[in-house]
Structure 1
Amino acid sequence: MRLEDQSESPNIEDRRGGDGGIGRGSIGIGTLLVALAAGYFFGVDPALILGLASSGNHSPAVQRPAQKLAANDEMARFVAKVLGSTEVTWRSIFDAAGRRYQEPKLVLFTGATPTACGTGRSAMGPFYCPSDQKVYIDLAFYLDLRERFHAPGEFAQAYVIAHEVGHHVQNLLGISDKVHAAQQRSGNRAGANALSVRLELQADCFAGVWGHRADSMQKILEPGEIEQALTAASAIGDDRLQRQTQGQIVPESFTHGTSAQRVRWFKRGMDSGDIRQCDTFSSAAL
């Protein structure tokens, strides 16, 4: 990616180098296995998987000032530039709609860290917590993205950030609250999961909108890099992950969409650059 002219976002909170300020409480092996299987699905509030399982005794989220990243911290600086690019893009979109874009914070951590959604752990993969409007990522995830999911490349890494920022946009627009309320009314897990799929696919589409607009404004993409993001989206489809982790596919348990659906909605946003094309909730076919 060509990010030389992109400023780094100041909204980086670096908690690496320690335990993130949380205690080392115990957690059941069953819960841990569930989290490991589901963690990389990029869900909204995956911190709840483990955080809420630890008897409700969470360390409070800690407010820390943004730190200046070291010059040789290349991956962190890359993430800061991608976040900065999302800020430029979404600020422009919100401005055009007569609204103000509230920038999220991005927290770098290792191992585990307190969040307003409970304890965040590396096993969950990157996630967004709407309660504190922060994206959380352990940069070790990018090694998994390359080696476990076979999705290398900078634009694949940028897609991860853009997807989580897409959840932040949903939060600002009130979409997340409406979906969560509808999930509670649905009265069954299958109905709640179906709504979760639409929420996740919309975040994929929003990530594509960012990619389209950022490239239009700054020509950030090298030849072939769009395919990197498509590979990443395909690698984390529910059907593919379930086949890898449990050997069978259970469609009613899907929470993020199939590989084909994730690719389709990311590509829809990438091709159009128009958030109006990202209405997964009115679409009969996903």
Structure 2
Amino acid sequence: MRFPPPGADSRRPLRRLTGFARWTLLVTVCLTVLPAGAAQAAPAKSPLLTTGRLAATSCPEPPLIDGGMPRTREYLTAVMKCLNKSWSAHLAQAGLRFRTPTVRLYGEPAERVCGVRWPANAAAFYCTERATLVFPLTGGWIEDRTDLYPLKVVAHEYGHHLQSLTGVRAGYEARVHSDHTHQAELGRRYELQADCLSGVFLGSVRRSLSRTEQDWEALSDVLRASGDDADHRTHGTGANRVSWFKRGYRAVSPAACDTWTAPPSHVS
């Protein structure tokens, strides 16, 4: 299937920051940039990768343009409802445990959230130990946008929740603790898998989105612009972010999202 072309708002999204500490707050994995080696052995294979295609569902987007915080709250509530419905049914069919994530919406960044200081310039993030998705209702990532980027961001952070539910996070953290040479690369594998899982979801609801080919091309442009810079190689290059998103989108299956066995060049 040809990826339907992302033109609307292609503003560069806010750079997100994350730390890996005793527990992991995942917006971005801000680890020291270390040289990439051979393809890294995967954490214990997650059952998520064998669950088959995500069923096609409907998820109409409430408009975001104008309306301020009440409108963004409405949008995020609707999208989270779609994600919970889709992924809970998918995991249940595969015999896997599902837990609905907690969602916390903020009118503006707070001093502390989930027990830690709010990451600087964070668009959105997932608190792993508390299974909590955190979204500011303001900022360039979501206010007055007409493109698909907010939907992709929410689905990406939800991907981190799926990684926690299905053992990916535990395997990733174990590898990071034991393999200090490839921490940065492992972090990118983790983040690019969430990009791919966001593509799986958007692929499953694409027919209900009333979007044009130009809208999809615009999303590709935004993702490409959100790639790593030379100093913070945490999420992958713009080209690799687009590539993994499209893999998930085209396959509509988590099986396409095995970033752990991909060559280093595919997760650079």
Cα separation, 1, equivalents of 2:69 and 2:115: 32
- The counterpart of 1:120, out of the listed 108, 118, 121, is 118
Alignment partner of 1:214 is 2:195: no
Alignment partner of 1:226 is 2:216: yes
Answer with 264-273 or 276-285: which moved more.
276-285
Q: Deviations over 1:40-99 (max 9, x none)?
A: 25786158999xxxxxxxxxxxxxxxxxxx998111101111111111221122022112
Q: Secondary structure at the match of 1:205?
A: helix
Alignment of 1:76-155 (within 5 A): 76-109=73-106, 110-121=108-119, 123-141=121-139, 143=140, 152-155=145-148
Displacement of 1:279: 0.3
Q: Secondary structure at the match of 2:25?
A: coil
Identity, % of aligned pairs? 25
Q: Secondary structure at the match of 2:148?
A: helix
Cα separation, 2, equivalents of 1:163 and 1:145: 14
Map of 2:226 onto structure 1: 236
Alignment of 1:248-267 (within 5 A): 249-250=230-231, 254-267=233-246
Answer with 118-127 or 258-267: which moved more.
118-127
Alignment partner of 1:199 is 2:190: yes
Map of 1:25 onto structure 2: none
Amino acid at match of 1:228: A
Q: Secondary structure at the match of 1:257?
A: coil
Displacement of 1:210: 0.5
Map of 1:16 onto structure 2: none
Structure 2: runs of 5+ lacking an equivalent: 1-13, 31-66
- The counterpart of 1:169, out of the listed 158, 162, 165, is 162
Q: Secondary structure at the match of 1:73?
A: helix
Cα separation, 2, equivalents of 1:111 and 1:195: 28
| Contact 1:122–1:137, Cα closer than 8 Å, also in 2 | no
Say if 1:90 and 1:192 are closer, same or farther in 2 by CA, change over 3 A. same
Rg larger for: 1
Give the TM-score normalised by the residue count of structure 1: 0.65
Say if 1:228 and 1:266 are closer, same or farther in 2 by CA, change over 3 A. same
Cα separation, 2, equivalents of 1:89 and 1:127: 20
Superposition RMSD in Å: 3.0
Say if 1:49 and 1:214 are closer, same or farther in 2 by CA, change over 3 A. closer
Cα separation, 2, equivalents of 1:112 and 1:122: 11
| Contact 1:104–1:133, Cα closer than 8 Å, also in 2 | yes
RCO comparison, higher one (Cα < 8 Å, 6+): 2
Say if 1:82 and 1:144 are closer, same or farther in 2 by CA, change over 3 A. closer
Aligned residue pairs total 210
Q: Deviations over 1:237-281 (max 9, x none)?
A: 10xxx2xxxxxx25xx51110000000000111111010010000
Map of 1:40 onto structure 2: 16
Structure 1: runs of 5+ lacking an equivalent: 1-37, 51-69, 243-248
